[in-house]
Amino acid sequence: VFANAHHPHVPTNTGPGHATLSTGAYMRVHGILNNEFYDPALGRMGYCTEDRSARIVGLPDVSGLMGMSPRALQTSTLGDWLKVADRQSKVCAVAQKDRGSILMGGKKADRAFWFDNPTTGFVSSDYYPGKYPDWAGKIVGREVLRDSIDKGWYKAFPESYYSRSREDVNEFETGNFLPDFPHTLARTHPRLPEGSKEVV
């Protein structure tokens, strides 16, 4: 185990980062240049896991949702190597976002799951073989995570454990949420009544 490992690549966005970690290759080899990049096959900007030949599965109504797959990934991943080494291997990737799941699972994964933001339910793609499993349709993120959301998100360790980390607040941290710990509904959404389900 490495305590301080680095992959020196730019840009440090999630799509190319996931692909670099799962393939052990840099962007010029794995082909995921950014979360969004110009796709010559489409003749326009495209999303890193976009695939018009694929269809989202796991929701009653998928109209208007962009199909997803590892089509743009140009080399094999750890999951692919496992499938080649042993055909009985099972490779399933689960992540909050599509690109995390799809790019980490690879081209030969049995299934990739990610959360659909509006419903917080698991979804997948018909790119992957077999029927979408019934059990996956019963997992709803807002219910699974309800206890954690209500309690808030606090640092897991004492401050001394973070000596190699940057300060908790930096000027480059932007967005809708406060960048420093703890992350609680009361801090991030002070107008919401305690126990509100509105933001989940």
Catalytic (active-site) positions: 14
CB 104 within 8 A of CB 77: yes
User: Looking at the chain, how many residues does it have?
Assistant: 200
DSSP code of 153?
A: B
- Which residues, 6 or more positions from 68, have their beta carbon under 8 angstroms from its beta carbon? 49, 50, 51, 54, 56, 98, 102, 125, 127
Residue 117 amino acid letter: N
- Which residues, 6 or more positions from 197, have their beta carbon under 8 angstroms from its beta carbon? 142
20 phi and psi angles, rounded to 5 deg: -65, -45
Strand 56-57 with 44-47, pairing: unpaired
Give the residue from 120, 118, 126 showing the smallest Cα distance to 102.
126
Q: Residue for token digits 């743009």?
A: 72
